[in-house]
Protein backbone atom coordinates (compact mmCIF):
# COMPACT_ATOMS: atom_id res chain seq x y z
CA UNK A 1 0.00 0.00 0.00
CA UNK A 2 1.61 3.23 -1.18
CA UNK A 3 1.87 6.25 1.11
CA UNK A 4 -0.74 8.77 -0.06
CA UNK A 5 0.08 11.70 2.20
CA UNK A 6 0.77 15.29 1.26
CA UNK A 7 2.95 16.41 4.17
CA UNK A 8 2.98 20.14 3.33
CA UNK A 9 -0.35 21.19 1.81
CA UNK A 10 0.70 24.84 1.41
CA UNK A 11 3.90 24.00 -0.52
CA UNK A 12 1.98 21.48 -2.66
CA UNK A 13 -0.61 24.13 -3.56
CA UNK A 14 1.81 27.02 -4.09
CA UNK A 15 4.01 24.82 -6.26
CA UNK A 16 0.95 23.81 -8.28
CA UNK A 17 2.06 20.22 -7.86
CA UNK A 18 -0.03 17.30 -9.05
CA UNK A 19 -0.49 13.69 -7.95
CA UNK A 20 -2.57 11.09 -9.76
CA UNK A 21 -3.14 7.42 -9.29
CA UNK A 22 -5.36 4.42 -8.91
CA UNK A 23 -6.33 3.02 -5.53
CA UNK A 24 -8.11 -0.32 -5.08
CA UNK A 25 -11.35 -0.08 -3.09
CA UNK A 26 -9.89 -2.69 -0.71
CA UNK A 27 -7.36 -0.05 0.43
CA UNK A 28 -10.23 2.27 1.43
CA UNK A 29 -11.65 0.39 4.45
CA UNK A 30 -14.66 2.64 5.13
CA UNK A 31 -15.78 2.34 1.49
CA UNK A 32 -14.93 -1.37 1.25
CA UNK A 33 -17.23 -2.05 4.22
CA UNK A 34 -20.26 -1.29 2.01
CA UNK A 35 -18.98 -1.51 -1.56
CA UNK A 36 -16.79 -3.49 -3.90
CA UNK A 37 -15.33 -2.77 -7.30
CA UNK A 38 -13.74 -4.61 -10.17
CA UNK A 39 -11.63 -1.59 -11.07
CA UNK A 40 -9.73 0.82 -8.81
CA UNK A 41 -10.70 4.37 -7.89
CA UNK A 42 -8.99 6.73 -10.35
CA UNK A 43 -8.00 10.09 -8.85
CA UNK A 44 -6.01 13.26 -9.45
CA UNK A 45 -5.25 16.11 -7.06
CA UNK A 46 -3.46 19.31 -7.96
CA UNK A 47 -2.45 22.47 -6.16
CA UNK A 48 -3.49 25.92 -7.30
CA UNK A 49 -3.56 29.55 -6.35
CA UNK A 50 -7.20 30.60 -6.37
CA UNK A 51 -7.83 33.35 -8.88
CA UNK A 52 -10.00 36.40 -8.30
CA UNK A 53 -12.43 35.35 -11.04
CA UNK A 54 -13.06 31.99 -9.34
CA UNK A 55 -13.73 33.40 -5.87
CA UNK A 56 -12.81 37.01 -5.01
CA UNK A 57 -13.00 36.27 -1.26
CA UNK A 58 -10.31 33.58 -1.62
CA UNK A 59 -8.20 35.32 -4.27
CA UNK A 60 -4.51 34.51 -3.87
CA UNK A 61 -5.07 31.72 -1.35
CA UNK A 62 -3.75 28.23 -1.83
CA UNK A 63 -6.27 25.72 -3.11
CA UNK A 64 -6.55 22.10 -4.16
CA UNK A 65 -8.57 20.44 -6.93
CA UNK A 66 -9.61 16.82 -6.61
CA UNK A 67 -11.07 14.69 -9.37
CA UNK A 68 -12.03 11.07 -8.86
CA UNK A 69 -14.02 8.41 -10.66
CA UNK A 70 -15.14 5.01 -9.46
CA UNK A 71 -17.54 2.29 -10.48
CA UNK A 72 -18.77 0.68 -7.28
CA UNK A 73 -21.05 -2.24 -6.53
CA UNK A 74 -23.32 -1.32 -3.60
CA UNK A 75 -26.52 -2.79 -2.15
CA UNK A 76 -29.87 -1.68 -3.58
CA UNK A 77 -31.96 -0.14 -0.81
CA UNK A 78 -35.09 -1.91 -2.08
CA UNK A 79 -34.05 -5.48 -2.93
CA UNK A 80 -30.60 -5.60 -1.22
CA UNK A 81 -29.00 -7.07 -4.37
CA UNK A 82 -25.84 -5.42 -5.76
CA UNK A 83 -26.32 -2.39 -7.99
CA UNK A 84 -23.79 -0.32 -9.93
CA UNK A 85 -23.01 3.19 -8.68
CA UNK A 86 -20.98 5.32 -11.07
CA UNK A 87 -19.22 8.05 -9.09
CA UNK A 88 -17.59 11.16 -10.47
CA UNK A 89 -16.39 13.83 -8.04
CA UNK A 90 -14.83 17.18 -8.83
CA UNK A 91 -14.14 19.11 -5.66
CA UNK A 92 -12.16 22.23 -4.81
CA UNK A 93 -10.66 23.08 -1.44
CA UNK A 94 -9.35 26.33 -0.02
CA UNK A 95 -6.42 26.02 2.38
CA UNK A 96 -6.61 27.96 5.64
CA UNK A 97 -3.73 28.50 8.08
CA UNK A 98 -5.75 27.82 11.25
CA UNK A 99 -8.74 25.84 12.45
CA UNK A 100 -10.44 29.10 13.44
CA UNK A 101 -10.11 30.51 9.92
CA UNK A 102 -11.45 27.27 8.41
CA UNK A 103 -14.35 27.26 10.89
CA UNK A 104 -15.19 30.85 9.90
CA UNK A 105 -15.55 29.88 6.21
CA UNK A 106 -19.15 30.07 5.03
CA UNK A 107 -20.92 26.70 5.33
CA UNK A 108 -23.18 27.39 2.36
CA UNK A 109 -20.30 27.86 -0.11
CA UNK A 110 -20.59 24.86 -2.44
CA UNK A 111 -17.59 25.95 -4.51
CA UNK A 112 -14.88 25.20 -1.93
CA UNK A 113 -14.44 23.01 1.13
CA UNK A 114 -11.98 24.17 3.84
CA UNK A 115 -8.72 22.38 4.60
CA UNK A 116 -6.29 23.38 7.36
CA UNK A 117 -2.67 23.85 6.22
CA UNK A 118 -0.90 22.81 9.40
CA UNK A 119 -2.10 19.26 8.97
CA UNK A 120 -0.78 16.78 6.49
CA UNK A 121 -3.39 15.54 4.06
CA UNK A 122 -4.10 11.82 3.96
CA UNK A 123 -5.37 11.30 0.42
CA UNK A 124 -6.77 7.88 1.29
CA UNK A 125 -9.00 9.45 3.93
CA UNK A 126 -10.00 12.25 1.55
CA UNK A 127 -10.91 9.73 -1.19
CA UNK A 128 -12.99 7.76 1.31
CA UNK A 129 -14.80 10.88 2.52
CA UNK A 130 -15.68 11.98 -1.00
CA UNK A 131 -16.80 8.51 -2.11
CA UNK A 132 -18.99 8.06 0.96
CA UNK A 133 -20.61 11.44 0.36
CA UNK A 134 -21.15 10.75 -3.35
CA UNK A 135 -22.85 7.35 -3.13
CA UNK A 136 -26.58 7.53 -2.42
CA UNK A 137 -27.24 5.13 0.49
CA UNK A 138 -30.91 4.94 -0.52
CA UNK A 139 -30.14 4.24 -4.18
CA UNK A 140 -32.16 1.55 -5.94
CA UNK A 141 -32.17 -0.35 -9.21
CA UNK A 142 -34.34 1.15 -11.91
CA UNK A 143 -36.09 -2.21 -11.90
CA UNK A 144 -35.20 -4.76 -9.24
CA UNK A 145 -34.93 -8.46 -10.22
CA UNK A 146 -38.33 -10.10 -9.47
CA UNK A 147 -36.67 -13.08 -7.73
CA UNK A 148 -34.86 -10.71 -5.33
CA UNK A 149 -38.13 -8.97 -4.51
CA UNK A 150 -39.90 -12.31 -3.99
CA UNK A 151 -37.25 -13.38 -1.43
CA UNK A 152 -38.18 -10.29 0.59
CA UNK A 153 -41.93 -10.84 0.30
CA UNK A 154 -42.32 -8.02 -2.22
CA UNK A 155 -44.11 -8.15 -5.55
CA UNK A 156 -43.35 -5.91 -8.51
CA UNK A 157 -46.29 -3.55 -9.13
CA UNK A 158 -44.96 -1.23 -11.78
CA UNK A 159 -41.60 -0.44 -13.34
CA UNK A 160 -39.32 0.27 -10.36
CA UNK A 161 -42.12 -0.01 -7.79
CA UNK A 162 -42.72 -2.87 -5.36
CA UNK A 163 -45.26 -3.46 -2.62
CA UNK A 164 -45.39 -5.86 0.27
CA UNK A 165 -47.34 -8.99 -0.54
CA UNK A 166 -50.66 -8.97 1.29
CA UNK A 167 -50.49 -11.45 4.15
CA UNK A 168 -53.37 -12.25 6.46
CA UNK A 169 -53.27 -10.27 9.67
CA UNK A 170 -52.15 -12.09 12.78
CA UNK A 171 -55.56 -11.40 14.36
CA UNK A 172 -57.35 -13.12 11.46
CA UNK A 173 -55.11 -16.17 11.83
CA UNK A 174 -55.81 -16.33 15.58
CA UNK A 175 -59.53 -15.81 15.06
CA UNK A 176 -59.58 -18.79 12.67
CA UNK A 177 -57.85 -20.99 15.25
CA UNK A 178 -60.46 -20.30 17.92
CA UNK A 179 -63.51 -22.58 17.87
CA UNK A 180 -66.63 -20.84 16.66
CA UNK A 181 -69.47 -20.14 19.10
CA UNK A 182 -71.74 -22.59 17.28
CA UNK A 183 -69.38 -25.50 18.03
CA UNK A 184 -69.23 -25.16 21.67
pTM: predicted TM-score of the whole model, two decimal places: 0.78
> DSSP strand E in the chain: where?
5-6, 18-23, 35-36, 41-49, 62-75, 82-96, 113-116, 121-122, 154-158, 161-164
Q: How confident is the model at residue 71 (pLDDT cuts 50, 70, 90)?
A: very high
SS3 71: strand
User: Tens digit of pLDDT for each residue in 22-38?
Assistant: 999 999 999 999 999 99
**What are the tens digits of pLDDT across the range 158-175?**
655 555 455 667 777 677
Amino acid sequence: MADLTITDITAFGRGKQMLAGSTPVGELPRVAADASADSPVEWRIEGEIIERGDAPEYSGQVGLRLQLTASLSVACARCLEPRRAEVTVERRYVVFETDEAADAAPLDDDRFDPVVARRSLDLRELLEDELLLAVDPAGVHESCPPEALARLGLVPVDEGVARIEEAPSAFDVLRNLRPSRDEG
